[in-house]
Chains A and B, each alone.
Chain A
Amino acid sequence: MATVTETRSVQELQAVCKQIRRHIVTMIAAAKSGHPGGSLSAVELIVSLYFGGRMRHDPKNPRWKDRDRFVLGKGHAAPVLYAVLAEAGYTPVGELNTLRKLGSIYQGHPDRRFIPALEASTGSLGEGLSLACGMALAARLDGSPARAYTMLGDGEIQEGQVWEAAMFAAFHKIDNVVCIVDYNRIQLDGFVKDIMDIEPLTDKWRAFGWHVIELDGHDLNAVNAAYDEAAATKGKPSVLIAHTVKGKGVSFMENNPKFHGMAPTAEELQKALAELA
């Protein structure tokens, strides 16, 4: 099995994470709209996949048949995925600041028409896990080692479809699918516990037949280990319940529902970049 992905040390990954965060706040500030909070909370979880050797992929060959797939269920966090795809060499870094502008490949939500390396066009919440299950099943049928990863928001998993997919994945023993729940405790209207509490969350996934791994989603050692544990788990799908901080890395965005869907001003951007120096 060809592993095209380079693997980097945790220290190197931390540096990549910081760079990704700088891209996120800069491009959202340039766009004057977008979703910084849920982009910043997901950085380590996605960087580990693309740069930590946890996902098999090849930026020179985005349509490689045996590549692992990543589906961003929470499509509004597109900036984190764009920054990662650009730094990985799939798309131009220099165009990140065209985010959300007419004609940009960096559309408001992931759009396959503009970036073929995207596995799905998402933005309507709740569809990522079903898509990933389909991709994982296709790999199984084709005898391919490919795995399918999907990241869902903690608000997103309120969609009934997520639980239909959860039941499906366990029933069909899809052990090459990995679901990541970005448990940052905030959704659009406020805190998840006040909008529609999702607890007890690990119990729910276990009851649906999943292997559950609970972790600190900003601890790269823990994130790497969680993906390895998921890959080693056979006969059932795995879910990472990743405890994260919405807005992570920018003090005034952290745990602040206001920055779910609001761009930083020019002044706030300078403050953010200073903190991410």
Chain B
Amino acid sequence: MATGTKFELKMGAATREAFGRTLVELGRANKDVVVCDADLSKSTMTTYFAQEFPERFFSCGIAEANMVAVGAGLASSGKIAFVSSFSAFLLNKGFEQLRVTAAYPEVNLKAVGTHSGISIGEDGPSQMSIEDLALACSLPGFAVLSPCDEVSMRAVIHTVAAHVGPVFVRAARAKSPIVYGADARFPIGGSHELIAGKDVTLIGHGLLVAEAIRAAGSLEAEGISARVIDMYSIKPLDRDAVARAARETGAIVVAEEHLADGGLGVRVAQTAAETTPCIMEFVGVNNVYAESGTPDELLDKYGLRAVNIAAAAKKALARKSAR
């Protein structure tokens, strides 16, 4: 566990790249691993698997609903089936199939959505997934994971392949800074405290973990001790970590590249309400569809930056001391 600002964030690969590379590792180790993709294999990076294992890769065309149910059929017949597309199309076009062919019958399907959030940039809202976690978390029995860097994505893909049950994993288009050393472990339902702190807790997932780390650095310079937690397991949630943060710091900020409605924030709030109610603030996309722009411009404009997290933390602290 690191303390203070000792974190050095070096840029790594995109989590989708790590996903694609890890699928090949899985394929080599287990011939029951199969992959389906819907005309986006060069973007989701399942193309690596397709090249090495063409007989176990199923091109589905632009037909996500069919792909998800085919994947569920493969999975219910004993295959370790991965289905992948942009998160927006996988969850929105394939939702009914995720619900009735995977979640409800408790089928061992692995759904991986890439290009999540607004940081896909120029393509705009039709390709942006800002509601995928809300949808995935609404599926009973699903494990929902959002790793923040290439190291954790690789570990999470190995974890979910070994796990028996339906899973949704969220990946990003943009490169992300490396947060973890190679030996870190990522069990379903876990979390990682990256920075110790006692005044306020910053909880993030995906690309906003790095922003939360930066926010903690700037808060430290102002004499505020911020704890940072990577809540990579959105569901099931690490309830102990939430309760401890609430008890020990009394204020929590949740930051995510997702609609504030229905994201990790509301899940953390529910858990805090059930265990140790505390002051909370939320950094997310607020009831709006974004637009075209560079990833950086959009993260700035829609308030998903370290400065926004730090501002939310100060607001939470002010509310805490006014109590």
Q: Please report A residues at the B interface, Cβ cutoff 8 Å.
A: 31, 33-34, 75, 100-104, 107-109, 111, 114, 121-126, 155-156, 158-160, 187-189, 194-196
Contact = CB atoms under 8 A, between A and B. Distances in A.
B90 to A, nearest CB: 12
B248 to A, nearest CB: 40
**Most interface-central of A108, A195, A196 (chain B CB within 10 A):** A108
A160 B298 contact: no
Given A122-B126, A196-B39, 17 more contacts: A33-B122, A107-B291, A107-B292, A108-B123, A108-B292, A111-B124, A111-B125, A111-B291, A123-B125, A124-B126, A124-B127, A158-B39, A159-B63, A189-B59, A194-B59, A196-B59, A196-B61
B65 A160 contact: yes
Chain A interface, DSSP helix/strand/loop, else mixed: loop
22 contacts: A102-B297, A102-B298, A107-B292, A108-B123, A109-B123, A109-B125, A124-B93, A124-B127, A126-B93, A155-B62, A158-B61, A158-B62, A158-B63, A160-B63, A160-B65, A188-B43, A189-B47, A189-B59, A195-B59, A196-B39, A196-B61, A196-B62
B39 A195 contact: yes
Contacts of A187: 39, 61-62
A159 B60 CA distance: 10
Nearest to A156: B62
A194 B41 CA distance: 13
Nearest to B122: A100
Contacts, number: 92
Contacts of B127: 108-109, 123-124
Contact of A109 (B41, B60, B126, B293): B126
B305 to A, nearest CB: 15
A100 B301 CA distance: 15
Contact of B60 (A31, A34, A121, A196): A196
Nearest to B40: A188
Interface in B279-323: 291-294, 297-298, 301
A108 B294 CA distance: 11
Interface in B115-150: 122-127
A187 B39 CA distance: 8
Contacts of A123: 123-127
Contacts of B39: 155, 158, 187-189, 195-196
A187 B62 CA distance: 9
A43 to B, nearest CB: 22
Nearest to B42: A189
B66 interface: yes
B275 interface: no
A155 B65 CA distance: 15
